[in-house]
Amino acid sequence: MFKTINSLFVTMFGIGKLPKIPGSFASLFTVILLYILFHIFSIRADIFLFFLVAIFFISLFSINLFVKDLINKDPREIVIDEFIGQSIPICLYEIAHTEPTSQARVITFYFIMFILFRIFDITKPYPVNYYDKNFKNSFGVIMDDVCAGLYVVAILVFYMIITT
Using DSSP's 3-state secondary structure scheme, residue 21 falls into: coil
Q: Are 117 and 89 within 8 A, CB to CB?
A: yes
Q: What is the pLDDT of residues 102-142, one digit of tens each?
A: 999 999 999 999 999 999 999 999 888 888 888 888 898 99
| DSSP code string of 64-85 | HHHHTT-S-SS-TT--HHHHHH
Q: Are 95 and 46 within 8 A, CB to CB?
A: yes
In total, how many domains does the chain have?
Answer: 1
Structural domain that includes position 24:
2-162
The alpha-carbon radius of gyration of the chain (Å, integer) is: 16
* Cis peptide upstream of residue 100 (ω within 30 degrees of 0): no
pLDDT value at 5 more than 90: yes
Residue type, 57: F
Backbone φ, ψ for residue 17 (5° rounding): -90, 0
Q: What is the pLDDT of residues 43-95, one digit of tens each?
A: 999 999 999 999 999 999 999 999 887 777 678 899 999 999 999 999 999 99
pLDDT value at 24 more than 80: yes
Spacing of C-alpha 61 from chain mean position: 17
Closest C-alpha among 92, 69, 67 to residue 80: 67
